[in-house]
Chain A
Amino acid sequence: MSGDSYQGYHRFLIATVGVGLVAGLVATAGPVPAQAAAKSVSIGITLPLTGADADGATRIKCGAQMAIDEANKMGGVGGYKLKTVILNNATATAGAYDPAQAATNAKKLVADPSVVANVGPEMSGDGKAMSPILSQGDLATITPASTNPDITDPRYAGQYRPAGKPVYFRTVTTDKYQGPNMANYMRDTLKVKTVYILDDSGAYGVGMANLFEAQAKKIGMTVLGHDELNPKEADYTTILTKIKGMHPDAIYYGGVAQAGVKLAKQAYETVPKMVKAGGDGMFTGDLLKGAGFPASEGWYVTNASPHLTENPKLADWVKKFSKMCGGRTPSDYSVTAYDGAKVIIAAIKKVADSGAKVTRAAVHDAIASSKVDTFQGPVAFDGNGDILQKTIAVFQVAHNKQYPDDDVIHQFKYLGDAPEAPSS
């Protein structure tokens, strides 16, 4: 059968069935509502919405959802209405994010033909599990929070993007900057000379702790040790007692809140006066709620994006956000999620406006070449999917009793940006 006559036959069939259906509907249900004719595409959102990281994840979800809702309110994008497919990356067995569940969710997204792009994941462990599947499904994702550099590193392209094209885009920078820049900040500003390093044995935590360690040694800090915490373990007094006996100036922790909350709680008991610092995994309401005050007081944390939530330009946005997010204040990763969704929306618009069909492949290419004005400035990606801006913002927990204890804007005090480490 030649292609032409096959297609001709096909069109005839569709036309006949279509006319038949419409006729049937008109006959039985009266006029067809205009809505039903509107085209739609879906954007996935994959985050650990329950468990130890739920608070941070919810703030991220609201950011993405807000951008999508706004686009729909403006009448959709290029004739398409946007829908969301929200999938939970956390499981009860893990009690937090679960890379196995993330992989399942990635397969679900790839299997759903309406999904043209995804926002997420929050966790690098999930990212490592999802990226190869998304690559093979040609489904681009924009992570507003996961910072492990391996996923986009061309050295591991065979593992994380087997289909070749970059598929994992970020609206945050990576731990190649987050860990090392914080090492610089701790030496230069906090005058830390000796440090003990801990991680939570997760993909993100180990990676960041190692990058921090390498830079700390390079700039002349003494690393007294590096040990791993089991996030399901309750007792960290053993390691903290050991650290206390070594008298370092500081503890640096690479990891997320699950172990971090317990670490903060017990570190306050064992080594109350020591400088304690972590990465964006600790920049969350989960720390403030779980460890509470005074245990979380004084912790230094970083964020792999510019600090925007207190920017006067965003004052209205912050108000709108709190209203749609159950009273929660936005984190900076709410902003990067909003920006990420904006980038996807712009890509869909670009494809639709060019007259082409809005397919995954087309949206993927449009994202890769995007240059979109967002709150954090123009977002553009390098050839691996990493964002061009490399800002690492530093914060410290400082209890402000005027605001609720879990208010991430007001309980984390912005101290400035960390000095950039030369990239390796």
Chain B
Amino acid sequence: MTFSDVLLQQVINGVSLGAMYALLALGFTMVYGIIELINFTHFSVFMVGSFIAMAVLLAVGLSGQSVILTGLPLVAVLLLALVVTMLATGTLGVVIERTALRPLRNVPGTAAMITTIGLAYILTNLVLLLVGAQQENYPNPLPNLTWHLGGATVHLREVLVWVVAAVLMLGLQLFVHHTKLGKAMQATAQDAEAARMMGVDVDRVVLTAFFLGSALAGAAGLIFGLYYNVVDFQIGYTAGLRAFTAAVLGGIGNIPGAMLGGLLIGLIESVGGQLIAVRWTDVIIFSILVLVLVFRPTGLLGRSLAQRS
């Protein structure tokens, strides 16, 4: 492998990482854009999603990497896992909003944010109690297909990450810009009070944002499991923190910003690790974040979804 091949390989790695961060960052950014709440429960919903997807894969008879599927059965199994997981985590997000956060909606200060931190711990520890703390060997039916791009290798799992992330993000964009509910979301983000006066059901909009954000986190949980093949109850922490950073980097509240931020963080992580050292990953990421925020306090793309000033 020449140096340029290695660099290309790192870009491939970085885009895959970035796609997962972006999916996660969308949940942070949508909720923040609409109710200006930083929802730390999102970290845990992602982790729960990974375990729900694992349960689905185990339920259809997969375990470890011993069962390899191809063709239609593979697509069917992955779609089933994806749909069940997204519905389950989406519902979890709705339940969290409805029971724990809505009563605090109009409470000033940080009560709601602190509540999300508490909920994150509750979810994490529930999983700890239910499945234990050991690292789980994730069921993975993907065949070992590879393609060569110059000297770099692209695996099927990477293509899967890209396709799932691209389709979901495209779907989200279409939803936000071309459906009534999506437009209501935009309106609420711009001015909740005015939107309410225009007849927008704000509660429903908030629930939708939680459902969509959590569903995307669930999808990220599934592809995380298939990509790394090992999960434990703590995976939400590092990935969640990076995704949150991505949302801030792109401009929290801004949907394309979250996608851009996610991709950038993924690329910084892999290319930075290549050129400097992986032990400096966090230093590099957060230095860039600080620099960006010094010159553009609203992040790279500002807050176009929520343009309140």
Contact flags A115-146 to B (C-beta < 8 A → 1, else 0): 00000000000000000000000000000000
Cβ contact within 8 Å between B229 and A245:
no
Complex Cα–Cα for A295 and B128 (A): 25
A sample of 20 inter-chain contacts (CB < 8 A) reads A51-B133, A52-B133, A227-B277, A232-B237, A233-B281, A234-B230, A234-B235, A234-B238, A234-B239, A238-B10, A238-B270, A239-B278, A241-B13, A247-B1, A290-B134, A290-B136, A290-B137, A292-B64, A292-B137, A295-B229
Residue B279 at the chain A interface, CB threshold 8 Å: yes
Across the two chains, which residue of chain B brings its CB closest to A242? B274
Residue A92 at the chain B interface, CB threshold 8 Å: yes
Cβ contact within 8 Å between A235 and B128:
no
Q: With A237-B13, A238-B269, A245-B6 in contact, is A52–B278 under 8 Å at CB?
A: no
Residue A370 at the chain B interface, CB threshold 8 Å: no
Across the two chains, which residue of chain B brings its CB closest to A55? B134
Complex Cα–Cα for A232 and B274 (A): 19
Contact flags A259-294 to B (C-beta < 8 A → 1, else 0): 001100110010000000000000000100111111
Cβ contact within 8 Å between B3 and A245:
yes
Cβ contact within 8 Å between A232 and B238:
yes
Chain A binding surface SS class: mixed
8 A Cβ contacts from A281-329 to B: 286, 289-295
Residue B273 at the chain A interface, CB threshold 8 Å: yes
Residue B232 at the chain A interface, CB threshold 8 Å: yes
Cβ contact within 8 Å between B230 and A50:
no
Cβ contact within 8 Å between B133 and A227:
no
Residue B173 at the chain A interface, CB threshold 8 Å: no
- Chain B count of residues within 8 A CB distance of the other chain: 41
* Ranked 4 nearest A-B pairs via Cβ: A245-B6, A290-B135, A238-B273, A228-B279
Give the Cβ gap from B280 to chain A, nearest Cβ, in Å.
9
Cβ contact within 8 Å between A286 and B135:
yes
- Chain A count of residues within 8 A CB distance of the other chain: 42
Complex Cα–Cα for A290 and B224 (A): 16
CB neighbours (8 Å) of A238 from chain B are 10, 13-14, 269-270, 273-274, 278, 281
CB neighbours (8 Å) of B237 from chain A are 232
CB neighbours (8 Å) of B239 from chain A are 234
Residue B233 at the chain A interface, CB threshold 8 Å: yes
CB neighbours (8 Å) of B135 from chain A are 52, 257-258, 261-262, 286, 289-290
Complex Cα–Cα for A289 and B269 (A): 29
Residue A413 at the chain B interface, CB threshold 8 Å: no
Cβ contact within 8 Å between B64 and A265:
no
CB neighbours (8 Å) of B17 from chain A are 235
Complex Cα–Cα for A52 and B135 (A): 6
Complex Cα–Cα for A261 and B224 (A): 16
8 A Cβ contacts from B134-151 to A: 134-137
A244 touches which one: B1, B64, B229, B282 (CB < 8 A)? B1
Contact flags B234-247 to A (C-beta < 8 A → 1, else 0): 11011100000000
Give the Cβ gap from B46 to chain A, nearest Cβ, in Å.
11
8 A Cβ contacts from A236-254 to B: 236-239, 241-242, 244-245, 247
Apart from A90-B133, A247-B1, what are 6 other A-B pairs with CB-CB below 8 Å?
A: A54-B133, A55-B134, A92-B125, A232-B237, A242-B6, A290-B135
CB neighbours (8 Å) of B286 from chain A are none
Complex Cα–Cα for A294 and B134 (A): 19
